Structure 1
Amino acid sequence: MTVMDHSTHHTGAHDHAAHQGHEGHGGHQMGAVTWGAAAKATLHCLTGCAVGEILGMVIGTALMWGNAPTMILAIALAFVFGYSFTLFAIRKAGLVFRTALKVALAADTVSIAVMELVDNGIIALVPGAMDAHLADVLFWTSLLGGFGIAFLLTTPVNKWMIGRGKGHAVVHAYH
């Protein structure tokens, strides 16, 4: 189907944005995504997640909250910061807030969810990590080690998704 044929099937700004998102795969076809592109998308996600999660862990630990409320805050802030980094980047490209929010949600939800599941799973599994304090080496090594493992396990997920026009592939149309 040519671009001309495709445009006859869609009208309005929303459909135009969807069409741009489809074209914005950076020329990737199924399975043609490089590991470098997937790693870059994962690193972008990891940055937002790390800022939010570290902030949540620091706040919860400093306030001497229990493990569950601290992890809930950390995970919530990881999603907020993860989405925000993408949202602000694509808002700079001129998208209205509502469209930019939809793109950010589509781009980052699976990546952030996998990253948070792995990272928090690692922290929960490391003996003593859940009870470590900010001044403890175990607090920081388990947190940062969890990020490293989450990066390694989330990169293939992002590679698969980008190769199918999902995840961070939808953002490329707006960069």
Structure 2
Amino acid sequence: MALSATLHCLTGCAIGEILGLMIGTAIGLSVGWTILLAVGLAFLFGYTLSAFPLVRAGLGVGAALGIVFAADTLSIATMEVVDNAVMALIPGAMDAGLVNSLFWVSMMIALAAAFLAAYPVNRRLLARGRGHALTHEFHHSSSQVAGARRFIPSLPATTLAIAIVAFMVGGLTVSIADELGNEESGGAGSHASAGGSTITR
């Protein structure tokens, strides 16, 4: 349950974190504002994904958010502190740009560290009947969903995790391809220049 809770929490955090860092990096925000944006979006997506199953199971939005705040805040906060600290500590990671392998590798390292840091937190909370234990029955509810609640998406954490990993691997692949292409272009330009100077002589 601790692993499941941590993975579930990580998916929402990862979506918000990646989106925040991408937006901040793309529009040239300072490191401080980029981190603030990433943290805000991580909490937003983390709470939202946790609230979906509760509302789908029949709880009102207010009641669902109350449970989610009590269940997930400490886990999300732990992830955010570790994730952003790792990103800030890796030289050049925050200023690397989206088409840069350093950004994606750093993000993978940061999210992995955040997962490892949040796991013991969730395990301790579960042992005390808190944290994800408060939402567990709603996440695995088999009751019939009726009315408008049918349109609330049911998003398994494993599916989201696979999609997030695939997205980051795709970003890393594009970055590596771009860097290799730039190296080849630079090398070709250098050879052409050298050839031209030989002919001139």
Q: Same fold (TM over 0.5)?
A: yes
1:27 aligns with none
Runs of 4 or more above 2 Å deviation: none
CA distance in 2, matches of 1:137, 1:172: 37
Q: Give the residue type in structure 2 aligned to 1:93.
A: A
Whether 1:77 and 2:77 are equivalent positions in the alignment is: no
* Aligned 1:1-175 pairs, distance under 5 A: 37-175=1-139
- Normalised by the length of structure 1, the TM-score is 0.77
Q: Which runs of 5+ in 2 are unaligned?
A: 140-201
Q: Distance in 2 between matches of 1:173 and 1:43?
A: 17
How far apart are the structure 2 equivalents of 1:46 and 1:70?
Answer: 19
TM-score under structure 2 normalisation? 0.67
Residues 45-69 of structure 1: CA deviation (Å, up to 9, x unaligned): 0000000011111111111111111
Unmatched tracts of structure 1, length 5 or more: 1-36
1:174 deviates by 2.4
User: Which structure carries more relative contact order (alpha carbon 8 Å, separation 6+)?
Assistant: 1
Match of 2:145 in 1: none
Offset, 1:173: 3.3
Q: How many residues align?
A: 139
For residues 109-135 of structure 1, the C-alpha deviation after alignment (integer angstroms, 9 at most, x for no partner) is 000000000111111111111221111
Q: Pick the structure with greater CA Rg.
A: 2
